[in-house]
Structure 1
Amino acid sequence: MKIVVIGGTGLIGSKTVAILRLGGHEVVAASPNTGVNTITGEGLKEALAGAQVVIDLANAPSWEDKAVLEFFETSGRNLLAAEAAAGVRHHVALSIVGTDRSDNGYFRAKVAQEKLIAPSGIPYTIIRSTQFMEFLGGIAASSADGNVVRLSPGLFQPIASDDVAANVAEVALAAPRNGIVEIAGPERAPFNEIVARYLKAIGDPREVVRDPEARYFGGRVEEKSLVPLGEARLGRIGLDEWLRRSQAKA
């Protein structure tokens, strides 16, 4: 089977490409640096020729509200039009758990991306994932005020990128759901406690403060804003195991 992975050289994309190639599939790792650009349309027609499945893992270069919305709307429209012309039979898109329940610019842009998919007429599956464990350092940095990190006690359920990639590959090879699948890590705990464990493990002395008013990239975090409300596929790698693996690689 020919599968095109948009964003195939990124964190999740490179892992997904490797899994699918091990399964014997013809996989195109498509990104601007491989000559495929979903914003300009460059290389899209050629990359999608003969493809049965397209996995959209594209990410915006800027998180500024207007820029990120324009990116996902333009990229989504161009990609879906090219897929329709190529006769693609399954569109898989990676989105975010709670994207319709939290008010920040990036989440609003992902909602806009999702809304383009169902009306396209292409059979699809949207995978909504919780935040990646690999982003914990960036989350701490974005929430820091000097030596204090202020975070909401809202529930958090981060997932390792290896588990995300495994789920993306599995969904891509299955029949389209024409709906949403949610994935999350195996552990659920308050946001501030997860980040405190992460910082302690890496020897970061900053204090994590529980602050119900703390924003997450500009959006307010309620108790269940960032975790699945219903059934979700759970990853196998817990935070402690992920930390051990990360430190071993380092």
Structure 2
Amino acid sequence: MRYTVLGASGLIGSRSVDRLTAAGHEVVPATRSTGVDVVSGKGLREAFAGSDVVVNLTNSPTFDAASIDFFETSTAAVGAAAEEAGVRHLVILSIVGADRVPQLDYYRAKTAQENVLASGPTPYSIVRATQFFEFVEAIMSWTTDGDVVRLPRTPVQPIAASDVSAAVVGAASGGPLQGIRNIGGPEVFPLDELGRITLAARPDGRSVVTDDQAGPLAQVGGDVLTAPDDSDLGPTYYGDWLGRR
């Protein structure tokens, strides 16, 4: 089969290209550097020509309200080009609980992307993932003040990027779901505990203070950021991943 991967140079995109290529598929990596612009639609027709499946792993350059326009505009452009090219399956990566966190702009943006995709004519699959292991240190940086990291007790269920790419490729290689597949890691942590585990493995002089008002994830209540009961769970444990890095 022939796949086009949009956002092919990103964290998940690059891994997905490698997995599809290793499986013997023909893969077209599509990025801005290859002349593809998902907002204007430039290069999409050429990138989709002859492809059976398009995997859209592009991301907004911002996480504020402007991300809503990015995802709505780009998803519509991708959908129109896919229909014209006769693509049989569109796949996107979204976030577990995206539609349950309207107070965060980026989550509203990902929900808007899902809605645009689902309203289009091309069969589709949505893979919703929990937060990535690779983003834990970035999340900690949001609330770092000197040698203190303030983190809420919000429950999270992080997953390795390699496991996310495996799930994306699995969805892309199968028939369209016409719905959502949720994925997450094998363990649930309070975010403050996850920060302490991270700093114990990679000491840098900082310590974690529990603060249930700190950072954007403090706005998320209950178990919204953890994988639902019917989710597929990745095999990689956070401690093992930390040890390998």
Into which bin does the TM-score normalised by the smaller protein fall? Answer: over 0.9
* Match in the other structure for 2:133: 133
Instruction: State the Cα distance separating 1:212 from its structure 2 match.
Output: 2.2
1:110-150 Cα offsets, whole Å, 9 max, x none, are 01101101110211110000011000111000122332212
Identity of aligned residues (%): 45
* Match in the other structure for 1:45: 45
Q: Given that residues 186 and 235 in structure 2 are in contact (C-alpha distance below 8 angstroms), is that contact kept between their aligned partners in structure 1? A: yes
Q: Given that residues 154 and 225 in structure 1 are in contact (C-alpha distance below 8 angstroms), is that contact kept between their aligned partners in structure 2? A: no
Instruction: State the Cα distance separating 1:214 from its structure 2 match.
Output: 2.4
Q: Could you tell which deviates more after superposition, 80-89 or 219-228? A: 219-228
How many Å separate the matches in 1 of 2:239 and 2:42?
Answer: 42
Instruction: State the Cα distance separating 1:194 from its structure 2 match.
Output: 1.0
* Match in the other structure for 1:215: 215
How many Å separate the matches in 1 of 2:182 and 2:44?
Answer: 28
How many Å separate the matches in 1 of 2:138 and 2:203?
Answer: 16
Return the TM-score normalized by structure 2.
0.96
1:76-115 Cα offsets, whole Å, 9 max, x none, are 1100010111111111100001111222111111011011
* Match in the other structure for 2:241: 242
How many Å separate the matches in 2 of 1:222 and 1:143?
Answer: 18
Is structure 2 residue 30 aligned with structure 1 residue 30? yes
Is structure 2 residue 77 aligned with structure 1 residue 78? yes
Instruction: State the Cα distance separating 1:155 from its structure 2 match.
Output: 1.0
Q: Given that residues 53 and 90 in structure 1 are in contact (C-alpha distance below 8 angstroms), is that contact kept between their aligned partners in structure 2? A: yes
Instruction: State the Cα distance separating 1:205 from its structure 2 match.
Output: 2.4
Return the TM-score normalized by structure 1.
0.94
Structure 1 runs of 4+ aligned residues shifted over 3 Å read none
Q: Given that residues 152 and 221 in structure 1 are in contact (C-alpha distance below 8 angstroms), is that contact kept between their aligned partners in structure 2? A: no
Q: Given that residues 182 and 228 in structure 2 are in contact (C-alpha distance below 8 angstroms), is that contact kept between their aligned partners in structure 1? A: no
How many Å separate the matches in 2 of 1:226 and 1:145?
Answer: 25
- The runs of 5 or more residues in structure 2 that have no matched partner are none
- Give 1:206's aligned amino acid: R
